[in-house]
Amino acid sequence: MLCERCGQRQATVHFTEITNESKQETHLCEVCAGEIKPQGFVFAPQLSLQNFLVSLLNQELGGGGYGIPADTVRKCESCGVAEGQFVKQGLLGCGSCYPNFEEKILPLLRRVHGSTRHTGKVPERTGGRARLVKELDKMRDQLKEAVSREEFERAAVLRDNIRQLEKSLEEGAES
């Protein structure tokens, strides 16, 4: 059989590619197979982020989730995902896995992101307290700026607002 691509050399490399329902066979010579490799067929390097994460997690769990006996493996109370499962896939089971496995996840986050504290967007409706805390941070920054610019009237207003917000946050925490 001749190579499908160049039609000159003998086909020695045979690929079967299955995409959803369709199956396709390709017969190539070694030269063409070498050339076509990067595009048509998936020889993607397996050093993906997920694999990398999995190896980090293995370290975090002291040498590997695979070796942990089943009865000592903790499970997430909400979704039932076990630590070992997480280690294999690099995926958590649900939002509650974060607090439930906190002591494992926080060191990992520190390594991956260099941080364990969200400073970005807070959802308007479900953000709750976090929204107030963020607003407070913003006002404190504004206060510093006002003081450094010697805008004392503005600073006084900001200071009062901050105090009020702090108070309502404290009350919220107690109740």
Partner 1 sequence: MSFKNTLNSAHSKWMDAEGPEADIVLSSRVRVARNLAGIPFPHLLDAQKSEDVIHAVRLALVNKEEPELLGGLEISGLGELSPLDRQLLVDKHLISPDLLKNFQSKAVVLREDEVVSIMVNEEDHLRIQCLLPGLQLKEAWDIINRVDDDLEKTLDYAFSEKLGYLTSCPTNVGTGMRASVMLHLPGLKITKHLGGVLGTIVKLGMTVRGLYGEGTEAVGDLFQVSNQITLGQSEEEIINNLESITRQILTQEHAARNALYNDRREVIEDRIYRAYGALRYARVLTSEEAMRLFSDLRLGLELKMISAVPARVLNELMVKIRPAFLIKSAGRELSGYQRDVLRADLVRKEFEGLPC
Binding residues for partner 1 (CB under 8 A): 4-5, 19-22, 24, 26, 35-36, 38-40, 42, 44-45, 48-50, 53, 78-79, 81, 89-95, 98-99, 105, 108-109, 112-130, 133
Please, what is the minimum distance in Å from the beta carbon of residue 76 to partner 1? 9
Phi, psi of 22 (to 5 degrees): -100, 140
* Minimum gap (Å) between residue 150 Cβ and partner 1: 28
**Nearer to partner 1 (CB atom), residue 98 or residue 152:** 98
Distances (CA, A) of 158 to 96, 141, 145, 154, 171: 37, 10, 11, 6, 20
Nearer to partner 1, 29 or 155 (CB): 29
The least distance separating partner 1 from the CB of residue 32, rounded to whole angstroms, comes to 9
Q: Rounded to whole angstroms, how far apart are CA atoms 41 and 27?
A: 13
* Half-sphere exposure (Cβ direction) of 141: Cα atoms closer than 13 Å: 6
Of 71 and 125, CB closest to partner 1: 125
Choice between 63 and 127, CB closer to partner 1: 127
For residue 8 the two structure tokens come to 């000159």
CB of 160 to partner 1, least distance (A): 25
- Three-state secondary-structure class, residue 168: helix
Query: CA 133 to CA 131: how far, in whole Å?
Result: 5
